[in-house]
């Protein structure tokens, strides 16, 4: 039973993390190759604060706040650069995060952090908390998609110049997407730290950023349900099949490539094409 509980917790964290990137990349069209940095910011914030004696649940809002603030700062870079340049910029942010953390003795440096207090909820309680928060993230995503802010994100993802001519303050909307998405990643990071009881710079490497991006792409950029499903399956796979754990980069990289080549709209696009019997996927 312990194994299943741990697996479901991992799945919950992955779903939450993938949905947080989906808000930025899927809804608003801002590609990010450094999203694991915000998972890391949340994880380190939560770990350090529990170490300082704060109850775990109170560290989550702090993790969200710090990740969100840093997200807005990175988002400001997205106002100046577009598409491929943004991908490179965010990749740089990911490396910057690891580079900085490695040099900080008070953050555990290369060795990382361990031995910080747990959530105090018990394994089952923590699993329920994680699944609850993942569900909440999905609900927030679905709400955003239906609300006016989602309509505007959708338009910005399609053509931001046209949106400006329609009177939309594009920079503020982009920053909003970054703020919400990175704050949610920060919360996922807090859960991640408490779940694994160990974090180090390598926990938030470029590979993790690619992994989460492949979850979003495989699910279908922008589709909440399919991204959640893809994140759940892809995060469970390494546990089920040892070789996937060994060849993680190969498997996720291959998936990313195959999806982009054969079904750019991911599983959501495939499902839509099948149900409609047509060739026209979303977007």
Whichever of 37 and 152 has its CB closer to another protein, that residue is 152
The least CB distance from residue 275 to another protein, in Å, is 17
Work out the burial of residue 246: count CB atoms within 10 Å of its CB; fewer than 13 is exposed, 13-18 middle, 19 or more buried. Answer: exposed
Whichever of 174 and 195 has its CB closer to another protein, that residue is 174
Asked if residues 94 and 33 have their Cβ atoms less than 8 Å apart, the reply is yes
The least CB distance from residue 176 to another protein, in Å, is 4
Whichever of 51 and 283 has its CB closer to another protein, that residue is 283
Query: Residue numbers of the site for another protein (CB under 8 A)?
Result: 143-144, 146-149, 151-152, 154-155, 157-159, 161-162, 164-170, 172-173, 175-176, 280, 282-283
Whichever of 51 and 280 has its CB closer to another protein, that residue is 280
The least CB distance from residue 50 to another protein, in Å, is 31
Whichever of 143 and 243 has its CB closer to another protein, that residue is 143
The least CB distance from residue 170 to another protein, in Å, is 7
The least CB distance from residue 272 to another protein, in Å, is 13
């Amino acid at each position: 039973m312990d194994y299943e509980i741990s697996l479901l917790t991992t799945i919950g964290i992955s779903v939450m993390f993938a949905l947080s990137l989906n808000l930025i990349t899927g809804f608003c069209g801002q590609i990010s190759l450094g999203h694991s940095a915000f998972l890391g910011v949340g994880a380190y914030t939560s770990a350090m604060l529990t170490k300082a004696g704060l109850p775990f649940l109170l560290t989550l809002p702090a993790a969200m706040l710090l990740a969100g603030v840093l997200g807005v700062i990175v988002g400001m870079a997205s106002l100046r650069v577009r598409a491929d340049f943004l991908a490179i910029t965010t990749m740089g942010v990911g490396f910057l995060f690891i580079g900085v953390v490695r040099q900080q003795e008070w953050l555990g440096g290369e060795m990382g952090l361990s031995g910080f207090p747990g959530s105090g909820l018990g394994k089952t309680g923590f699993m329920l908390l994680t699944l609850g928060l993942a569900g909440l993230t999905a609900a927030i995503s679905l709400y955003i998609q239906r609300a006016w802010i989602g309509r505007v994100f959708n338009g910005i993802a399609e053509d931001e110049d046209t949106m400006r001519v329609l009177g939309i303050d594009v920079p503020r909307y982009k920053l909003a997407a970054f703020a919400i998405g990175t704050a949610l990643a920060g919360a996922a990071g807090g859960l991640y730290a408490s779940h694994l009881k160990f974090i180090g710079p390598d926990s938030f490497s470029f590979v993790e950023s690619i992994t989460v991006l492949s979850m979003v792409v495989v699910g279908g950029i922008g589709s909440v349900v399919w991204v959640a499903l893809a994140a759940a399956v892809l995060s469970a796979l390494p546990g089920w099949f040892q070789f996937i754990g060994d060849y993680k980069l190969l498997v996720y990289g291959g998936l990313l490539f195959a999806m982009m080549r054969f079904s750019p709209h991911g599983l959501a696009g495939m499902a839509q094409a099948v149900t409609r019997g047509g060739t026209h996927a979303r977007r």
